Amino acid sequence: MQRLFILTLSLIPWIPAVLCWVSTKKEFTGPEGGSLTVECRYGSHYDKHVKYWCHGWTTTFCEILARTDETSSANQDKVSISDDRGKYMFTVTMKNLKETDSGWYSCGVIIGNEWQADDIANTEVKVFHGVRVVNRIVSGEEGSSLTVQCLYTLRLRLSEKKWCRRGDASSCLSTGSKGSYEDASVAISDDITGAFNVTLKKLQMSDAGGYLCSAGQQQVDVQVQVRPHGSTKPVTTPPTPSQPWYHYRYMLESIVGCSSLLLLVGLAVLARKIQRKKASSRFKETEEIFPDNPKGMRDLQRSKEHIIKIDNKGTINLLAY
C-alpha cells in the first residue's frame, strides 16, 4: 500500500493545467530549402513564463531547439523564437528546411513547478520536395477574384513558373525571366523565395475547372470552383468557427484535469487508510498475545522454554531456547 501511495503522488505532476493552455495548428508545411513559421498561443497566466520549441511529442522525450530566455543557441541559424506577450503568442521560425526536419514538434511553456508538468501543444511539420499548393480546391463568386498560392522548393526558385489548364498545353501562362505575368484576367507573381501566387480576376463561370501549378518539371493539380453571382450555395471550404478551437481544448483540459486530480487524491487517501487499518489490526493481535507488553511486537519476548519473536509483518516465530 505504501508503494501505491507513493505512485499516486508521483502521477500528480502530470496533471495538465486546468486554468491555462497552449495551442497551435495541427500541421505546418514548408518547402525544402525554404522556411516556415509556427504561431503558438497561450493563456494570459503564462505571459511571464519561459516558452520553448522542441522536437518531440512529450516533455520527457523532447529536444529543445529554442527558448525565449536564450539570446543565442547552437540552433540559432536554424530556428528562432520570439514572444509577443501583448498577443499571448510566441512565434517560431524554422529556416533552411530539409526533408529530415519533418516530424512532430511541440510548443512548450515552462511551469517551474515540481508538482505540474510543462504545458505543451503538439504539431506536425511536413517538409516537401517539388511543388505544392496551400489549397487544392479554391472557390470564388462570379465577378470576384481568387488567389492560388503555389509553393516550391528552393532548388526550383530559378525555374520557370507556369499556370495551365489541365490537358491544354497551349493555355499555359509563364512568369518568364521577369518572374511575373499579368493580363486582364490573370496575374502571376513569384517572390523567388519559395512561393508564387496566381490571381484569377473577374471570375467567369467558364473559369471553373482543373489547373496545374508548375515549377520546372514539377507540377500539382488545382481545382477552381466558381459560384454564380448572388448564389447561396455553400462554399466548399469549412466556415470559420465563432470561437477558436483552442477554447474548446481549454474546457476539455479543465474537466480532465479536475477529474484526474480528484481521482489521484482519492486513491492516495484510500491507500493511506488501508495501510493504517492493517497496522492497527496487527497491533491488536499483538496486544491479545502480550497484554503486559503490547508495544513489544518488534522485541524479543522470552519465556522459560522459548523465544517468541514477532517480525514487522506481525508473524509470530517460536524458537527453541
Q: Residues of the chain with pLDDT > 90: what percent?
A: 45
Whether 31 has a pLDDT exceeding 90, the answer reads no
- Residue 26 CA to residue 243 CA, distance in Å, equals 17
Distance of CA 33 to the CA centre of its chain: 24
pLDDT in tens, 191-205: 888 899 999 999 999
Q: Which domains does the chain have, with CATH numbers?
A: 18-128 (2.60.40.10), 136-227 (2.60.40.10)
Say which range, 70-74, 106-110, 146-150, 253-257, has the weakest mean pLDDT: 253-257
Whether 128 has a pLDDT exceeding 70, the answer reads yes
Specify the DSSP class assigned to residue 14: G
pLDDT in tens, 165-214: 999 999 999 998 788 999 999 999 998 888 999 999 999 999 999 999 99
| Segment holding 283, helix H or strand E | helix 245-289
| Residue 10: Cβ within 10 Å count | 10
- 160 and 175 Cβ atoms separated by less than 8 Å: yes
- 252 and 150 Cβ atoms separated by less than 8 Å: no
Whether 119 has a pLDDT exceeding 70, the answer reads yes
pLDDT in tens, 82-97: 999 999 999 999 999 9
